[in-house]
Amino acid sequence: MSASPVPAGTPVQSYKLRRGRMGIERQEALARHLPRFAVPAGPGRLDLQHLFGNDHPVVLEIGSGMGDATLAMAQADPGTNVLAAEVHTPGIGALLQGIVELGLENVRLLEGDGRELLDARIDSGALAGVRVYFPDPWPKAKHHKRRLVQPEFVALVADRLAPGGTLHCATDWEPYAEQMVDVVAADPRFALDPDRSRPDWRPLTRFEKRGLALGHVVTDVLAHRVDPGRG
């Protein structure tokens, strides 16, 4: 029997689900603390001020992994709220455990697809930043359509960012880095930073360390939301 065709307009899944185990402490953190820090389920736009309990700027991180970099950046910048989206439960558990241990109040969690959250539940101009660190590179040409950073995604980010907001991507796969630069540069609502090195305020991630150990070149793509009608 042949597979059913994918309906037109259906988003292509940009990540691979991976199995992972969780220790007792992370399981307990999920059971005890997730209701407090989780993004409430359901349709409709999020009231970010109500979600965090303040009017601080909000950054969405799509694919927070095991949360090491997320925790470090949130701890270093308590005046910025971080909305962390991750599809893998072990990563959510690790991040939640870190939030509790560090006593952080500026992080909220979504176990799910951050792109879907951005599309369905975030208002235009509501975010100060979007972070995409080391998304699945999908190296085979036939899988390139699964890469997250595509023109449609960049256009969506541009709409959700406030003027002056930032899109920050990082990858250790050079062909993907070239694609990131090309698609961001093609959107007139973004001004690209010419520096492709890791800024000192972005901590090394686990995936990044693994890539560096393999001799991969890490590229940071940082762009600012501008008004194309001015200048």
- The tens digit of pLDDT for each residue in 123-138 reads 999 999 999 999 999 8
Superfamily of domain 126-231: Vaccinia Virus protein VP39 (3.40.50.150)
Q: Are 24-37+46-122 and 126-231 equal in CATH topology?
A: yes
Average pLDDT over residues 89-99: 93
Catalytic residue among 136, 159, 187, 200: 136
Q: Is 55 a catalytic residue?
A: no
The CATH classification of domain 24-37+46-122, taken from the options 1.10.3720.10, 3.30.460.10, 3.40.50.150, 3.40.50.720: 3.40.50.150
pTM for the whole thing? 0.88
For the chain, the maximum distance between any two Cα atoms, rounded to a whole number of angstroms, is 57
| Average model confidence (pLDDT) across the chain | 90
Q: What is the CA radius of gyration of the chain?
A: 17
Domain extents for the chain? 24-37+46-122, 126-231
Give how far Cα 175 sits from Cα of 12, 31, 202, 206, 211, Å.
20, 41, 22, 20, 14
Bridging pattern class, strands 58-62 and 190-192 = unpaired
Helix (H) or strand (E) holding 110: strand 107-111
